Amino acid sequence: MSDLLLEVGTEEIPARLVPGAMRDLEKGFRAALRELDLECGGRISVDATPRRLALVAEGLPDRQRDRTETLAGPSKQIAFDPDGNPTRAALGFARKAGVAVEELELGDDGKLTVRRTIAGQRTHDLLASALPDVVLGVRFPRSMYWKGKGSPRFIRPIRWLVALLDGDVVPVEFAGVKSGNVTWGHRRLGSGPITVNSAEEYRSGLRANAVLLSAEARASKIVADAEALLPAGYELRRNERLLQTLVFETEHPTAVLGSFDESYLDLPEEVLETVMLVHQKYFAVEDSSRAMANRFVAIANSGRDIDGVIRRGHERVLRARFNDARFFWEFDQRSSLPDRLEELKSVTFQASLGSYWSKTESNVEAVARLGEALSVNASDANRALRAVRLAKTDLTTEMVGEFPELQGKIGGLYAAAQGEPREVADAIYDHYLPAGGAGPIPRSLVGQLVSLGDRLTTLGGMFRIGLMPTGSKDPLALRRAAFGAIRIVLEGSLAISLDRLVETASAGANAPKLRDFFLDRLRFWLQESGGFGADSADAVLAASDAVPVDALARARALAEVRHTPDFEALAVSFKRIRNILEQSGTAQSLDGANLDLTLLEGGAEADLHASLQPVGTKIAECNAKRDYATSLRAIATLRPALDRYFDDVLVMAEDESVRRNRLVFLAGMLKALSTIADFSLIDAEAAGGQRS
């Protein structure tokens, strides 16, 4: 077995692109192995720094497996003349197959055949031709020609290639660079070219030249070194996104502790932390009370800062950025948020939908409709209208112009500083929440109304003008906006219907498409965030998709009964009823038909009908109180009667009137018992598999 080392050395790749490049490199290499019929018996690992992509594959076979090939030739009549002598067709086929005519065999189909063994090629030779395509398979949003038009494209110039199979160089050439056994260490701290003969030599050689190849090792070093620098009582404010960025921007990360004047702490922490995290890539530091301290940690891609030169440089840059932020804060306070409303007329929201002024007017109308639909009390309704009126005004501030990441938050901070009620300020601060699939929703009902109204008008406006998401495009992140709206409704327990949401959004002729769009997001939430199975989500939505919070309540109740002994049998019985009705071909005509009690057969059929009456009453009482779990437990009591019914009763009776009456009975029962979920959509095997 052999081990492969592949390294692509480049100019610095942007940090945000490195994780994707690592995934592409591994995916492409595994695909190449499958195509070459090479099975890796060991581990395949991919590491990267800003200047290199490295892959190590352990346990590769020395060569392909031999394979047997059967070639079919001409028929016997064509291959031989009447005297049995081989014709030119037979001779040509034998020559092509590389065998003597005497070795040809006659197959069952009357044609000449020959079986031959093809020796597998050496892995070394196969990789030499396959690895360039593996490297080319690493995709980037933008790549460039480095050797003239028509040459291979890559994100940055490739400076060196290492390709070794058990220490032997695999001859590979890419963009004019030939492979070898020489790599390079840290750009400034390395001592020069490093000759390697194995993956272990490669890793140790890089370590000796100030390169930590492992991203995990660099992350651990960043955190450990940063925490070691902090005085007692101080803690690092961890930020995983910043940590990943720094991991892939450095090869030898070194933590540097800096400080700034305490007077800057008069600015809001959100402003200070945005400057440090987003613009300077520094970690903030907090004291024992969790308040921000006048310290920060920078990560340098260098050795120790013995003379403090690096620290002083970072402090000088940060001081200038904080001075800018202070100026913006003080300058912006000269105009109140209400005074800025008129300026929104000159800020474009979307070319076809107009300015943020018109967007705000739509938002106000949407929030008013939501308040009515949810019967919000007058105090909260007025605060929501005030907040939504002011929510976009921070787009005209100098602070947001310089730090766009602060939009919304800075509006809330300015509102609080200018004396707006706390509920109004918080709603403005939160109105872009939720920011993703797992982040928090707005803290208060007022904030939820503002955020929901903002999302609805965005979705409605874009659908109205026909700019809807497609497989490759998602204008204004509409999928995220719709999912955020569903999250607010469900996680905020807002009892509003999908139809009311769509009506509020004002999507025009595309309102049905917007409803379907919301429904897809609701189904996704139930499965991914709610943790319900796909069949459970489909079952409750098939019963009714009108009110999302009601669908969630029914899904939770269904989850309670899935593990009960009667559930699997019930699911099977309901599926059986559905199949009978569909196969009868009369399902549509049965809707609303009256049951003839005189045609019910005594015994199992009459008993089931009698059992349904108290259960139906119980279901109606419990459903009115949204006590769906009790309703489902009541339905489960029908299992014995249903089992006897299917054992003793022939639904498709010969007597046409009896047959139709039994179909009417089953259709009515299915409809009456499917108000919580359509049991026929439940995967009975999955339900049974969940039993403890």
What are the residue ranges of CATH 1.10.3210 in the chain? 338-531
pLDDT at position 692 over 60:
no
Give the helix ranges, DSSP H, for 333-442: 356-373, 378-390, 398-402, 409-417, 422-430
pLDDT, greater one: 254 or 595: 254
Residue 41: count other Cβ atoms within 10 Å of its Cβ: 10
Distances in whole angstroms, Cα of residue 195 to Cα of each of 132, 170, 174, 181, 271:
22, 15, 20, 6, 49
Residue type, 507: A
Q: What is the pLDDT of residue 214?
A: 95
The mean pLDDT of 108-128, rounded to a whole number, is 81
Between 677 and 105, name the one with better pLDDT: 677
pLDDT at 688: 45
Does residue 65 have a pLDDT over 90? Answer: no
Residue 526 has pLDDT above 90, yes or no: yes
Q: Which own/partner pairs from 37-41 qualify as long-range (CB within 8 Å, at least 24 positions apart)?
A: 37/64, 37/65, 37/67, 37/120, 38/64, 38/123, 38/126, 41/1
What number is the average pLDDT over the span 145-151? 70
Respond yes or no on whether the N-terminal peptide bond of residue 132 is cis (omega within 30° of 0).
Answer: no
High-pLDDT (> 70) share of the chain, %: 97
Q: What would the mean pLDDT of 91-112 be, rounded to a whole number?
A: 79
Backbone angles phi, psi at 485, to 5 degrees: -60, -45
Q: Which two tokens stand for residue 286?
A: 């907090």
Higher pLDDT, 316 or 110: 316
Residue bearing the bigger pLDDT, 284 or 640: 284
Please tell me the distance from the alpha carbon of residue 638 to that of residue 192, in angstroms, as a whole number: 81
Structure tokens at 546: 């009108």
Q: pTM score > 0.85 for this model? A: no
DSSP string spanning 486-547? HHHHHHTT----HHHHHHHHT-GGGHHHHHHHHHHHHHHIIIIIS---HHHHHHHHHH--S-
Q: Compute the CA torsion angle 596, 602, 608, 610 (nearest 10 deg).
A: 70
Query: How far is residue 355's CA from residue 348's CA, in Å, rounded to a whole number?
Result: 4
- Mean pLDDT for the stretch of residues 165-178: 89
Banded pLDDT at 588 (limits 50, 70, 90): low
- Residue pair 174/158 in contact (Cβ under 8 Å)? The answer is yes
Q: Tell which wins on pLDDT, 253 or 437.
A: 253
pLDDT more than 90, % of the chain: 61
Q: Which two tokens stand for residue 356?
A: 């943020």
* Residue 140: both structure tokens together: 């980037």
pLDDT at 590 over 60: yes
Q: What is the Cα–Cα distance from 661 to 26, expressed in whole angstroms?
A: 63
| Least reliable range by pLDDT among 19-23, 127-131, 578-582 | 578-582
Which residue type occupies 203?
Answer: R
| CATH 3.30.70 intervals, the chain | 2-63+122-208
User: Is 63's pLDDT higher than 90?
Assistant: no
Task: Report CA 101 to chain centroid distance, whole Å.
Answer: 62
The Cα 10–Cα 34 span in angstroms is 28
What pLDDT score does 148 carry?
Answer: 67
Say which residue, 666 or 339, is predicted with more confidence. 339
DSSP state of 279: I
User: Mean pLDDT for the chain?
Assistant: 90
CB 182 within 8 A of CB 161: no
pLDDT of residue 684: 63
pLDDT-derived band at 179 (thresholds 50, 70, 90) equals very high
Q: Which of 378, 551, 374 is nearest to 449 (CA)?
A: 374
pLDDT of residue 691: 30
Least confident of 225-239, 403-417, 647-661: 647-661
Q: How confident is the model at residue 537 (pLDDT cuts 50, 70, 90)?
A: very high
CATH 3.30.70 describes domain 2-63+122-208: yes
Residue 587 is predicted with a pLDDT of: 65
Q: What gap in Å lies between CA 606 and CA 648, rounded to an integer?
A: 11
Residue 144 burial (CB count, 10 A): 11
Are the C-beta atoms of 388 and 442 separated by less than 8 Å?
no
Q: Which fold has domain 338-531?
A: Hypothetical protein af1432 (1.10.3210)
Q: Are strands 111-118 and 193-195 parallel, antiparallel or unpaired?
A: unpaired
Question: What's the pLDDT score for residue 70?
Answer: 77
Integer CA distances (angstroms), 451 to 155, 314, 458, 668, in order: 39, 38, 11, 43
Q: Which pLDDT score, from 0 to 100, does residue 568 have?
A: 73
| Mean pLDDT of the region 323-350 | 96
Average pLDDT over residues 521-525: 96
Report the length, in residues, of the chain.
Answer: 692
Q: What is the pLDDT of residue 47?
A: 96
CATH 1.10.3110, applies to 562-689: no
